[in-house]
Structure 1
Amino acid sequence: MSFDRKKLLSLLPAYLRARDAEQASRLTDLLDAGERVELAALEALGNPTALQRQRRDDLQWKRDQGPLASLLAVLAEQIARFEEDIEQLQDDAFIETCADWVVPYLGDLIGYRSLHGQAPQAADARAEVAHTIAYRRRKGTASVLEQLARDVTGWESVVVEYFQRVITSQYSKHRRRWSHAAPDLRRWRAPRPGTAVEFENIPPDLDGLRRREPLDLIGGGFDAIPRTLDVRRIGSGGRHHIPHVGLFVWPWRALSLSGSPAVAADDRRFRFHPLGIDHPLVTLPRTETDLSSLATPLNVPMGISRRALHERRDDYCGHSLRLYVGISDPLPEVPAAAICACNLSDDGATWANLPAAGTYAVDPVLGRIALPPGLPAGTRVRVDCHHASAADLGGGEYPRTLATPATPPLRVPQDHATLAAALAALGGAGVVEITDSGRYEGDFNIDVAAGQRIEVRAANRCRPTLVLGAETRLTGGADAGITLDGLLIAGHRLRVPDVAGNLLRELWLRDCTLVPGRSLQADGTPVSPDAVSLLVESDGLQLRAERCILGALRVDEASEARLDACILDATAPERVAYAAPDGIAAGGPLGLVACTSVGKLHVREFSLVSNSILWAERATGDAWPASVIADRRQLGCLRFSYVPADARTPRRFRCVPDADGNVPALRFAARRYGSAGYLWLNPATSASVRRGADDEGEMGTYHPVAAPHREANLRLRLDEYLRVGLEAGIFHET
């Protein structure tokens, strides 16, 4: 500020300043009681901050100066605002510093078009306009299209210019040595067209990040094998044509699992997944720092192949996966040099290719680990790895919002080694927090004091696995409540029994997984496909679940359930997903919002079903009159949902199948829990389901992901950045 209050006062004649000071000495200071206390506290500070010093000076000025100085202070404040407004005019010429209201006007100058607000990645218009300015300098290039897809959708992407992958006669003065009519089967990796390794005189081990497996990746974004001309349009199945550009996007991301105990098959054989199933590992994408570079397999969350891990071990070990092997905590990390990639498939009663001494074998395709012989008894294995997920759903190490309890939580394993011990120490009320992604085996029950609440939760960025040996009983006094948050529960069911004194009022499940089928075999099939995950026998219970994966539910008719953004999976559409405790009669009122249900439903009434998928079927000879039954059809609402044609429900509003009886087929990327893309709608699904929600998004659990909106945003941007005459297609890597 060019004119502050002191400078304005100094410009006055000396006799005016002297007279003002004389009047100030005769007047009482203008500070009120609160300002006097604040000034005394600030003057007592030994090392005040800049803001505290400024506040102290303001109060001292107000105390010591006369009426003329006070008037000049008011004038100086207005001058400061005027100067700030002038400076802001200069700042408003740049997108980085302009005011929020200026952003749309700058965007209009460069032809920026706003995107659908449903996609969270498209919410910041300032960043979008700034990116647009940068992208226009490289408009039409493959690197810009890749970055554009990431910014608009939030998904990792790869752009393929198919004219470079068409088999053609080549001009002798412009040879494309990477383009062969037949693939070179002697090289496991092929260079990407247009990159620095496209020439034959480059050593095969140089710049391997830009190379790919030509045979393992056929059909995907990294397929480098040329094809003959395909004259079909890219939207109709054609790809290899001169005007075609393909955008391959990964609609899921790599979720971490940190310090998780590997599950032992014997003293040498282990599995990465805490449920002891074969589960493929995916790459933790590396961030591209240069806008001009093209994506490589290390920049996308794709599965790790055995050959890739063998050839590029240092790129994966220590970044996408780590092994910790030993006896005492903390377990030492296995160096990358001691890890080898192997095919550890079943070989009779054991696994093939068990390693020799000093070598630790990893199969990233099956998610298996084999230790060398000769390790001491009691050797334990912990892992850091990543798996694919399309949404923050069920137990996982994604960020969650945790409330601050009134009293500090009891921590497991710091304060208590087991969950049962921590619950016993609570005394009927409080919070138990598990602070790692460990595996906890054993039994526990929860009993809440009247009017109190017990919360068992995972700490933020943790995903503990609870393997129950027997059912967990949930009981409580009058107006008591229980919350389970961020847990993966397997092995047995949760039960709210109908016993004397059990007046439990609320049961909240947040970001939890109750494994469908209770537990899984090594190949991922459920051990008990007909088993129930949660049994509610008492009346008057309010069951609430948010972002959970649940097995079959049995709820008393006098209790009520509400599920938001959840999966309710009875392991097959012919089995019973929701009913009374006997599995036949009507269960309590049920509400489903943005949920996917697999299995038959029998409810007293549907309070609300919105943006959901009810996938249910009747087997041959089934005694049920319909696959979905609501006893009270004059109550409730079903809207914008997929409901079986034979369902007996209240009146439906814009549901599928429609009034004409057109029944679109449901196409899921995977139908079994534990698989990537679990109950995620395949892009080939009918538009009436994939764009049938109330906001033209997809029905089901993944409705909050807003995948159709992201694709619409990307197509809107492609119209601006594609060169004239080119046609783009969007393909999902699943």
Structure 2
Amino acid sequence: MSLDAAGLFALLPAVYRTRDATNGGPLQALFEVLATQSGIVEENIEQLYDDQFIETCMPWVIPYIGDLIGYNSIYQTAAGLDSRAEVANTIGYRRRKGTPIALQQVAMDVSGRAAVVVEEFRRLITTQSMRLPRPHLAECLNLRRSAVMDSLSDLAFDQSNRTVDVRRIAPRIRDVQDPDPAPLDIALHGPGRFNIPDIAVHLWRWQPWTINQAPAFVVDARRFKFNPIGLDIPLFSLPPTSYLPFTHINTRLDVPQPIRRGEFRRELSDFYGQSMMLYADNAAIPATQICCANLADRPGGSWCKVQAGKIAIDPELGRIQYADDLTPPQSLSVTYNYGFPAAIGGGPYDRTASLGQEVPTQNPALANFFAQVGTPTFPDLATAIAQWNLQPAGSTGIIVLTGFERYAIDLTGANAITLASDSTLAIAAAVPVPLGGPRDMTWNNACVTLLGNIDVIGLPPPPMSEGEIPPIGQLIINGLLIEGQLTITGSAVAVQLSDCTLVPGLGAANPGLSPCEPSVIVENDATLCIARCIAGPIAASAAGSVRVCNSIVDANSPCCVAYSGADGYSAGADLHVEDSTIVGKVRTRTMRLASNTIFFARLGKHDPWPAALWCSRRQVGCVRFCSLPSPAITPRCYECLPPDADSAAKFAPHFITLRYGHPSYALLSGDVPMAVWRGADNGSQMGVYYQIEETEAVSNVQIRTPEYLPVMLEAGIFLHPSQPLPSPVLPPFGYYYGVRPRTCCGDEDDSAQTVFHGIGVELL
């Protein structure tokens, strides 16, 4: 603002200013109001100038500028992308219309995802002419070229040539039903791919997330794993941050996908140091000491014999092994990238927005109690919790766990977390701000792993003179990966879990427990809120209430219990669930609201439950835009699937995998019905990935691609990944006594039962 209130008031003659001062300054107060309004008008005038340019205009102006160049609106995606980039590049698109680089650029701009455009007619086997030999169109594969053999399963970067396929690559013309049971792949592309008019647009659904210098999981003195809880995970390549528009055709290193052993062996320098790094005793290990090996399990539990003087990395399993002649380090840290479709669960993504409204994380400097675990004052989490338990009622506190550390804990019994009346405690992962104050934290690039169980005890409130109900204590847990159980007991408390992972099945830290053991147990009338989390089953007393938003609750099988009372059978607390995926049976007292949620469950053989989704009170609540099991006992339903019991199989959701730790965990597959893919209230997909608006992003590519195709050509959209993983093969029955356990009780109709086999077994 050019003039403030003092400047405007100074323009008045002194006689009026003097008289105004004598009367108490009402005129000066009026000028302060005038100055405020003048500032608003001045800012609006400046914004009107900015609104003339696509780079600086307000979002509501974008369609008006686009209309000047004949731009048609598309869906706005959730990745923070509006149509600004597309409008800004529209002239560039049209100048390059019909070229692969224009198709690639427009696909990335409208979807916010990595894209590769392949002209399939360049991969056709043709009759060679001596006048124009084309050796790159050879009929046969060169088996000596490992790169060609490795890429056969990679549709986008397959280097082999094919015979012509006369089937169309464009989606088939069909009558669309309402609701539509057709698979997603049918709506995106046709059965053909190798023909003269075919253009394939490949879109990647994964995002790479970087873990920086985290402790490696120790198998023994020479063997390690990248994953902090010892899971076998594929390592992902990290694409470059960005390129200038229309300057670069994407290659394999420009897309986020798992690193194959073959490409890692051939181009080790492209991945080691860029997408992964090892640190032995805080010193970086050079690439000359790294080799690639298949470290899969061998008979006896061994991995493989590593070349002398080398450290072997298996990028497909995320394993590390030292050679026998090397001295293993005292500590091994790893930097790597893993893949996942969305920012949910414990991860290194930015959590500032989700914690911005929470107290005391909103301003740690105002907290009564502050502890940073790993410092001399608070060497471990138990010490910090013990100090917090000594704080008086009404205190606010924050306990910060930094970086990607891993701690073994036992916060049960005498070490449990206690919450007094009107107290608020936050336990969060963060990174200290360099050169900042002792309480300056960044809620980003941090995800701490806790191995063990946590008890939360609500202390009885003090008696109030007038009989009022005092405020309950509150616990906030954010940015943690917990391999153990969370139990809430005592008086009423409010517990909020956000951006956390409670490992489904409780993981390797609890090998004696059932994989269906609950991750969260609520034994009192507590209020539990879960947002953007991955968790195992929830057992909550009917006296409390539970809210689940943008989360995955996984019982490890559709016929195990995902939600119920504390005893695992009775009705659980009142449930409110939105934009989530629930794998397993659900029994609740009241379903207050279920919206845009997939309930993937079914009854096992001889199951005593009357329905896989069982609400005791049907007169209260609402279920809208959800995928439900059949049968289901629910309140009134609106626009839910299946539309009737006879069509339950046609409208059942399909996933790439439901195995926790896989990059495609709970991701809808290419054979999912379109009714599920577009079944949410805004036309997006049901389930936990509703939040990333993937449906809108893919639709944008379908809308824009035909506008920039060369004449007489047609295109199909291919998603990576799309095909569901094959189910594990169980060993065949034999003529002997014994027990044949099921890998998952959701594999077959009788899979809820352990299968006994032997002579006379049919008589049992």
1:639 positional shift: 0.6
Alpha-carbon separation, structure 1, partners of 2:328 and 2:60: 67
1:261 positional shift: 1.1
Q: Deviations over 1:675-698 (max 9, x none)?
A: 111111113200111111111111
Once the two structures are superposed, the pairs formed by residues 361-440 of structure 1 within 5 Å of their partners are 361-373=312-324, 379-401=330-352, 402=355, 403-405=362-364, 406-407=366-367, 409-414=370-375, 415-426=377-388, 427-428=390-391, 429-440=396-407
Instruction: Classify the secondary structure of the residue corresponding to 1:535.
Output: strand
1:307 positional shift: 1.8
Residue in structure 1 matching 2:449, options 465, 470, 484 = 465
Alpha-carbon separation, structure 2, partners of 1:92 and 1:589: 48
Instruction: Classify the secondary structure of the residue corresponding to 1:133.
Output: helix
Q: Deviations over 1:365-412 (max 9, x none)?
A: 111001233555762111011111001111000110232232273112
1:509 positional shift: 0.5
1:26 positional shift: 8.3
Once the two structures are superposed, the pairs formed by residues 678-717 of structure 1 within 5 Å of their partners are 678-717=665-704
Once the two structures are superposed, the pairs formed by residues 143-222 of structure 1 within 5 Å of their partners are 143-189=101-147, 213-222=148-157
Residue of structure 2 equivalent to 1:104: 63
1:601 positional shift: 1.0
Residue in structure 2 matching 1:132, options 77, 90, 108 = 90
Amino acid at match of 1:475: G
Question: Does the 8 A contact of 1:245 with 1:726 survive in 2?
Answer: yes
Alpha-carbon separation, structure 2, partners of 1:218 and 1:448: 54
CA RMSD of the aligned region, Å? 3.2
Q: Which stretch has the larger CA shift, 447-456 or 96-105?
A: 96-105
Residue of structure 1 equivalent to 2:488: 496
Alpha-carbon separation, structure 2, partners of 1:611 and 1:88: 39
Q: Deviations over 1:15-64 (max 9, x none)?
A: xxxxxx9x97988689979xx9xxxxxxxxxxxxxxxxxxxxxxxxx9xx
Residue of structure 2 equivalent to 1:334: 285
Instruction: Classify the secondary structure of the residue corresponding to 1:631.
Output: strand
Alpha-carbon separation, structure 2, partners of 1:292 and 1:171: 34
TM (norm. structure 2) is: 0.78
Residue of structure 2 equivalent to 1:513: 501
Amino acid at match of 1:452: S
Alpha-carbon separation, structure 2, partners of 1:531 and 1:97: 53
1:225 positional shift: 1.0
Residue of structure 1 equivalent to 2:6: none
Question: Does the 8 A contact of 2:600 with 2:628 survive in 1?
Answer: yes
Question: Does the 8 A contact of 1:610 with 1:639 survive in 2?
Answer: yes
Q: Which stretch has the larger CA shift, 167-176 or 715-724?
A: 167-176
1:96 positional shift: 4.0
CA 1:526/1:121 → structure 2, altered by over 3 Å: closer, same or farther? Answer: farther
Amino acid at match of 2:514: S
Alpha-carbon separation, structure 1, partners of 2:14 and 2:606: 102
Which one has the largest radius of gyration?
Answer: 1
1:357 positional shift: 4.5
Question: Does the 8 A contact of 1:552 with 1:578 survive in 2?
Answer: yes
CA 1:26/1:280 → structure 2, altered by over 3 Å: closer, same or farther? Answer: closer
CA 1:603/1:105 → structure 2, altered by over 3 Å: closer, same or farther? Answer: closer
Instruction: Classify the secondary structure of the residue corresponding to 2:599.
Output: strand
Amino acid at match of 1:160: V
Is 1:482 matched with 2:475? Answer: yes
Amino acid at match of 1:534: V
Alpha-carbon separation, structure 1, partners of 2:258 and 2:485: 33
Alpha-carbon separation, structure 2, partners of 1:105 and 1:621: 62
Q: Which stretch has the larger CA shift, 97-106 or 693-702?
A: 97-106
Question: Does the 8 A contact of 2:642 with 2:652 survive in 1?
Answer: no
Once the two structures are superposed, the pairs formed by residues 493-642 of structure 1 within 5 Å of their partners are 493-497=485-489, 502-520=490-508, 528-538=514-524, 540-642=525-627
Once the two structures are superposed, the pairs formed by residues 282-301 of structure 1 within 5 Å of their partners are 282-287=236-241, 289=243, 291-301=246-256
Residue in structure 1 matching 2:263, options 308, 312, 315 = 308
TM (norm. structure 1) is: 0.81
1:355 positional shift: 2.6
Alpha-carbon separation, structure 1, partners of 2:592 and 2:661: 31
Alpha-carbon separation, structure 2, partners of 1:101 and 1:536: 46
CA 1:732/1:28 → structure 2, altered by over 3 Å: closer, same or farther? Answer: closer
Alpha-carbon separation, structure 2, partners of 1:709 and 1:512: 27
1:151 positional shift: 1.4
Alpha-carbon separation, structure 1, partners of 2:509 and 2:297: 14
Q: Which has the higher contact order (CA 8 A, sep 6+)?
A: 2
Alpha-carbon separation, structure 2, partners of 1:217 and 1:521: 39
Question: Does the 8 A contact of 1:121 with 1:151 survive in 2?
Answer: no
Once the two structures are superposed, the pairs formed by residues 8-23 of structure 1 within 5 Å of their partners are none
Question: Does the 8 A contact of 2:322 with 2:328 survive in 1?
Answer: no
Alpha-carbon separation, structure 1, partners of 2:145 and 2:406: 42
Amino acid at match of 1:702: Y
Question: Does the 8 A contact of 2:200 with 2:715 survive in 1?
Answer: yes
Question: Does the 8 A contact of 1:596 with 1:614 survive in 2?
Answer: yes
1:88 positional shift: 7.8
Question: Does the 8 A contact of 2:424 with 2:473 survive in 1?
Answer: yes
Q: Deviations over 1:103-162 (max 9, x none)?
A: 434322322111113544542x33221121222221121122222222111111111111
Alpha-carbon separation, structure 2, partners of 1:604 and 1:219: 48
Alpha-carbon separation, structure 1, partners of 2:261 and 2:686: 36
Is 1:672 matched with 2:659? Answer: yes
1:255 positional shift: 0.9
Question: Does the 8 A contact of 1:451 with 1:477 survive in 2?
Answer: no
Is 1:277 matched with 2:239? Answer: no
Q: Deviations over 1:167-200 (max 9, x none)?
A: 11245555433221112111123xxxxxxxxxxx
CA 1:690/1:362 → structure 2, altered by over 3 Å: closer, same or farther? Answer: same
Instruction: Classify the secondary structure of the residue corresponding to 2:425.
Output: strand
5+ unaligned residues in a row in structure 1: which ranges? Answer: 5-20, 37-61, 63-76, 190-212
Amino acid at match of 2:320: I
Amino acid at match of 1:412: V
Residue of structure 2 equivalent to 1:249: 203
Residue of structure 2 equivalent to 1:455: 426
Alpha-carbon separation, structure 2, partners of 1:94 and 1:176: 48
Amino acid at match of 2:503: V
5+ unaligned residues in a row in structure 2: which ranges? Answer: 4-10, 26-30, 32-37, 170-188, 356-361, 431-442, 462-471, 722-764
